[in-house]
Amino acid sequence: MASISNEKSGVSPQAPDKADHTPNSKKTQAGTGTVDVETGQLHTLQKEPLPPFTESDDPFGGEGGNNYRTMGRWDTVFALVTNQMGLGILSLPGTLKILGLVPGLIAIFAIGSLTWYAGYVLYEFYARYPFVINLVEMVKVIGGKRWEAVAFSMFIFQLVLTGASTAVTLSIVFNSISEHAMCTVGFIGIACLVIFIFCIPRTMKFVSQSGIPCFLSITIGALVTMIGLGVGHPAKAPADWKLGSGLTIVGHPSFQQGLTACIRIFFAFAGNFAFCSYMAEMKDPVRDFPFALRGLFVASMSVYAAFAAILYVLAGEYTTSPALGSAPLVYAKAAYGIVIPAVLTSGLSNGHIAIKLVHVQVMRAMNITKEITANTVRSWAIWIGIAIAFWVISFIISNAIPIFDSIVSISSCATYSWTTWGIAGFLWLHLNKGSWFSTWKKRGLFCLNVLLIVLSLFMNSAGLWASISELLDAFKTGSGVRGCFDCGDNSSL
């Protein structure tokens, strides 16, 4: 087991090329550096005395069990793709219909760039505090145990609802393909069971291996939809419809409509909550994570913009959300079938992160941290028990909420805004405490990170208002309202 000091933690400027960045020693201290985004050079931050940490603070280093720190840079790229590039992409053509082609594309690149920067701040914080293993522990460093408890509750709440949303999405896919061959409750149950089985393996390496199937699934599904629209008309278009009809270059939405569209774009990029969890299982996160982060956002912004623009141009005013429903029926069914792996892996990623978060907390509470990565009966029983509880709760919630999409939007405005932008802003303020205005660059970054916090507060207020208004409108019209544990057809075709 390698021992790590401040000189060998990967964050010291004295020997960056020979650093051992894996914080898995029995006793070490956090680093005191950050890394330049362009050059990869390490720079010192203001030094701050930190208490030593033990193997219980780094449960994935192999002390008493298996070494979970096995992911290289390409493993991490695929894991990040699995985590972020899910079905959020399918709502993007609909946002261009609301905002207009040009403002919609600008919003995709602007929100994507801001989210990339927030992700880089998480990386800088990890480089300084390499003993943190998830976003909750980052909050603990800057806010203490009280805010750790708040972050833990918010994080679990977010992940359970996301898991339930995945199950509902799969039930929509199954109903659309099979023409409602089974009670929707049964389809949701099958979805939860299958994802639970995928969540049994305990390493992020397994999650990363689903990255290529996820990316291919989304890409091929999008291509099938485009081909269907290219050879035929949109599903709801009249026979005399022509390509380009109803296309809006600059839209004129109401404030509520425009905000809702921007929130959907934001959710397509909102995978930052998982970044620290992936860094905690990398061989050399300080060296390799910036590469993976750049790869993720170059790929996601390019694919998102191309997919949204092409589908909107092909479907025009008959663009639907999710976008697969815009294609003629046969092509839409084929596309829905093809994207099933992407939906499953999205559920796997979110479920795995939630289960591991609780698993580590339980093992620490029982004072058996050396068994966290060990193949003991007790460790496996706790892991599987947590996984069962997570997906049973997700199953109940997905069936109990009558208007699920609006409820998820409300909860997401309350949680995703902070786990993606707001917390990153506070982390930067902590990292640079005492030097916020020392240079023009620092002043600019100070303003940018305060903007992240302000945007999170804005989404908490205006975003919640827009989502609640959408919920009330749905109740008035009865659109999309389901009963609790309702067997009715929820397909989108």
The pLDDT value given to residue 380: 94
pLDDT of 34 over the 70 cut: no
Evaluate whether 370 touches 169 at the Cβ level (below 8 Å): no
252 compared with 62, residue with greater pLDDT:
252
The pLDDT value given to residue 481: 62
The pLDDT value given to residue 153: 92
State the CB neighbour count (10 A cutoff) for residue 66: 15
- In eight-state DSSP terms, residue 436 is T
The pLDDT value given to residue 3: 37
* Closest to 313 measured CA to CA, from 390, 225, 247: 247
The pLDDT value given to residue 319: 87
Q: Give the torsion through C-alpha atoms of 348, 350, 354, 357, to 10 deg.
A: 100
pLDDT of 152 over the 70 cut: yes
The pLDDT value given to residue 186: 93
Q: Helix (H, G, I), strand (E, B), or coil: what is residue 244?
A: coil
Give percent above pLDDT 70 in the chain. Answer: 84
Evaluate whether 323 touches 109 at the Cβ level (below 8 Å): no
Condensed to tens digits (0 to 9), the pLDDT of residues 171-224 reads: 988 998 988 888 989 999 999 999 999 999 998 888 888 888 888 898 899 899
Residue 441 C-alpha from the chain's centroid: 29
Distance CA 466, CA 461 (A): 9
Which contiguous run of DSSP H or E holds residue 423?
Answer: helix 423-431
Evaluate whether 416 touches 186 at the Cβ level (below 8 Å): no
Distance CA 173, CA 86 (A): 14
pLDDT of 18 over the 60 cut: no
333 compared with 51, residue with greater pLDDT:
333
Average pLDDT over residues 275-300: 92
Distance CA 145, CA 148 (A): 5
Domain boundaries, the chain: 71-477
Evaluate whether 79 touches 207 at the Cβ level (below 8 Å): yes
Q: 75 Cβ partners below 8 Å, 6+ apart?
A: 205, 208, 282
The pLDDT value given to residue 443: 94
pLDDT of 403 over the 80 cut: no
Structure tokens at 292: 């993976």
The pLDDT value given to residue 24: 43
Confidence of residue 52 (pLDDT cuts 50, 70, 90): very low
The pLDDT value given to residue 57: 57
Confidence of residue 337 (pLDDT cuts 50, 70, 90): very high
Evaluate whether 406 touches 474 at the Cβ level (below 8 Å): yes
Amino acid identity of residue 170, one-letter, is L
Distance CA 467, CA 408 (A): 9
Confidence of residue 478 (pLDDT cuts 50, 70, 90): low
Burial class (CB in 10 A: 0-12, 13-18, 19+), 348: buried
Average pLDDT over residues 302-308: 92
Q: What value, to the nearest 5°, has the Cα angle with vertex 198 and ends 174 and 267?
A: 65
Distance CA 96, CA 250 (A): 9
Beta partners for residue 35, in sequence order: 42
The pLDDT value given to residue 49: 45
Q: Is the dihedral of CA 406, 219, 94, 180 positive or negative?
A: negative
The pLDDT value given to residue 211: 83
Distance CA 424, CA 118 (A): 6
Distance CA 192, CA 486 (A): 16
Q: Which long-range contacts (CB under 8 A, 24 or more apart) does 368-373 make?
A: 369/55, 369/56, 369/59, 369/64, 370/55, 370/63, 370/64, 370/65, 371/64, 371/65, 372/59, 372/60, 372/64, 372/65, 373/59, 373/60, 373/62, 373/64, 373/65, 373/66, 373/67, 373/68, 373/202
Condensed to tens digits (0 to 9), the pLDDT of residues 65-83 reads: 677 888 888 989 988 888 8
pLDDT of 42 over the 50 cut: no
234 compared with 34, residue with greater pLDDT:
234
Condensed to tens digits (0 to 9), the pLDDT of residues 355-384 reads: 999 999 999 888 888 888 888 999 999 999
State the CB neighbour count (10 A cutoff) for residue 488: 12
Structure tokens at 123: 């990386």
pLDDT of 58 over the 90 cut: no
Average pLDDT over residues 253-279: 89
Structure tokens at 206: 């397994």
Amino acid identity of residue 346, one-letter, is S
Condensed to tens digits (0 to 9), the pLDDT of residues 422-454 reads: 999 999 999 999 889 989 999 999 999 999 999
pLDDT of 99 over the 50 cut: yes
Q: Give the torsion through C-alpha atoms of 248, 251, 254, 258, to 10 deg.
A: 100
- In eight-state DSSP terms, residue 316 is G
pLDDT of 301 over the 70 cut: yes
Q: 389 Cβ partners below 8 Å, 6+ apart?
A: none
Side-chain-side CA neighbours of residue 216 (13 Å): 6
Average pLDDT over residues 457-466: 84
pLDDT of 51 over the 50 cut: no
Beta partners for residue 43, in sequence order: 34
Confidence of residue 147 (pLDDT cuts 50, 70, 90): very high
Q: Give the torsion through C-alpha atoms of 398, 401, 403, 404, to 10 deg.
A: -30
Q: 141 Cβ partners below 8 Å, 6+ apart?
A: 125, 129, 132, 430
CATH assignment, 71-477: 1.10.4160.10
- Residue length, the chain? 493
The pLDDT value given to residue 207: 87
- In eight-state DSSP terms, residue 27 is S
Mean pLDDT of the chain: 83
State the CB neighbour count (10 A cutoff) for residue 422: 22
> Given the DSSP bridges, would you call strands 42-44 and 33-35 parallel, antiparallel or unpaired?
antiparallel
